[in-house]
Amino acid sequence: MQPVLAAWAGMLIVGGVIMVVIGLRRRPDVRRPPRREAESLGRLWARITRRPPGEAGRRRDLILLAAVIAGFVLAAATGWLIMIVVAPAVAWVLPLILVPPRDRDVILLEALDRWVRNLSAALPTGKSVPDAIRLSGRTAPDAIAEPLGGLITRLNNRWDSRDALMRFADDLDSPDADTVIAALILAADRGANGAALTLSELADSIQSQLKGRREIATERAKPYIVVRQVTVITAVTLGAAFLFARAFFEPYGTGLGQVILAVLIALYLGSLLLMRRRATPPKRQRILIGTGR
């Protein structure tokens, strides 16, 4: 036995020396992967995992990493290998389905309301519609700041006002925005005659729509409150039972038990995903479609 151990030790020493020599050798710089490939991978990850943009996305990725680590720790402590998959799945799905989806129409309507009122205030001073749009870019709401910046750039590059506004409508992709942009197109063609009054009435109409949409959003949020409460109570109860009544969970320690546990968790999370899908407002048909080039 000792000669075998000596042989293994000698091989490990020689292998270690070889690895050190290889590591110390100067190697040519390895080219970094193209930026486009990194960006495409990032977009693929964001699309598959529904990663939110900015700081919220980085925070979500850290939560997922912590959940993966917690899953390995739980698997080592309990012997339930299924926790390696369950912990990240729960950490990914629960924040997504326990918070009501933000109604994009409400956010966009709020931004359009502010923008339209700024335009209606600028037009009576003698400015043309394109000039009023350029001026409104300084105080643009965040929800439309980027598309509005593109519109102003096209106007500065001497695009026709109608074509630039139609592309702006495609960027916003909303029937509510189409109504406002259609009024702006008519105002630009007619030299802004009566545009201020038209936009002011549009802003009042947007306010009425906002009131109704907010009431609908409040009603849609109520089931989420109930589901949150049920989920918290269930998690606390199961956690207490796991700590003080371990015998209850013994059947789940077997291979078949872990499969059953995974199915039960998947059914619960799937039902919550279905609830979120039904609570998401359907996309409405637009008025202006695909003519901006």
* Token code pair at residue 48: 């598959």
- Nearest residue to 227 via CA among 190, 266, 271, 163: 271
Q: Is the pLDDT of residue 293 over 50?
A: no
Percent of the chain at pLDDT > 70 equals 74
Q: Which two tokens stand for residue 159?
A: 């695009």
Q: What confidence tens digit (pLDDT) does each residue in 185-239 have?
A: 887 777 656 677 777 788 888 888 888 888 887 887 787 788 788 888 888 888 8
Band of pLDDT at residue 292, cut at 50, 70 and 90 = very low
The answer to whether 56 touches 50, Cβ cutoff 8 Å, is no
Q: What's the whole-number mean pLDDT along residues 251-280?
A: 81
Residue 88's closest CA among 53, 52, 61? 61
Q: Is 266 helix (H, G, I), strand (E, B) or coil?
A: helix
* Residue 115, C-beta contacts closer than 8 angstroms, at least 6 positions apart: 136, 140, 141, 144, 148
Secondary structure of residue 52 in the 3-state scheme = coil
Joined together, the tokens standing for residue 224 give: 């989420």
